Structure 1
Amino acid sequence: MPAAIALVVILSLLAVFQLALALGAPLGRFAWGGQHRVLPGRLRIGSLVSIVIYAIIAVLALDRAGLIDVVPDVVSTVGMWVVFAYFVIGIPLNAISRSKPERYVMTPVVTILAVLSLLVALS
């Protein structure tokens, strides 16, 4: 349960970050390859989609941890393994970013998310 809560807290912080990006905050060097200080329209939409994805992941994690019961167990079980794979794939993608801020901040964040999602998947 602590891993699921930690995962949801980090995802919530990332959702706030993505919302700020979608609203035009000059934080683009930390996301989407770091090519833009302020994101163009298509990447702002991508940030909004990211928030939806984070919410789905949060529901899966909380369901898997037994804190809520909104999806069948097989969905939360398989879903958390998919989430784990998603974050594992994200590690090298962030690590090879041309943006130093993205590499130095987001690579450790996604690594932590991968570990937490693994713990939730194994629970």
Structure 2
Amino acid sequence: MPFALALTIVLALLAVFQIALAFGAPIGQFAWGGAHRVLPTRLRVGSAVSIVIYTLIAVVAWSRVGVIDAIPEIVAHVAHVAMWVIFAYFALGILMNAVSRSKPERFVMVPVATVLAALSFLIAMGYGELATPI
């Protein structure tokens, strides 16, 4: 459970960051390739969509560790498989942020993506589960 909590905290902090980007904060050099100080409309929409994705990731993580039962019993293995997909998503995020042309994005987001990948890996492996591992 502590890994799901840590993942949720990091995702919540990222959500605040994405909200700021979506509302036009001049911190675009830390996201979306770092090409814009203030994001254009299409990337602001992307930031808003990111918040929804972060929420879904947190629900899957809490489901995987057995704290909430957001996924029906019939497809109980969905949370297990989904956490592996989430791990792959964050692992790819490490690479994508590492090749960014934006030095601030590389400096900040590579460590963030690494933490998210590590936490999602531990959750996918079943560490911190309340229920019997799948």
TM-score w.r.t. the length of structure 2 is 0.90
1:30 aligns with 2:30: yes
**Higher mean C-alpha displacement, 69-78 vs 90-99:** 69-78
Q: 1:108 aligns with which of 104, 107, 111?
A: 111
State the Cα distance separating 1:113 from its structure 2 match: 0.3
What is the Cα deviation at residue 82 of structure 1? 0.3
Which structure's CA Rg is the greater one? 2
Question: What RMSD over aligned residues (CA atoms) do the two structures have, in Å?
Answer: 0.6
The runs of 5 or more residues in structure 2 that have no matched partner are 127-134
* Greater fraction of residues in helix: 1
Q: Deviations over 1:52-106 (max 9, x none)?
A: 1000000000111111111142111111000000001111110010001000000
Question: Partner of 1:14 in structure 2?
Answer: 14
1:69 equivalent to 2:69? Answer yes
How many Å separate the matches in 2 of 1:13 and 1:88?
19
For 1:58 and 1:49, how far apart are their aligned partners in 2? 15
Identity %: 65
Q: SS at the partner of 1:98?
A: coil
Aligned residues: 123
Spell out structure 1 runs of 4+ moving beyond 6 A.
none
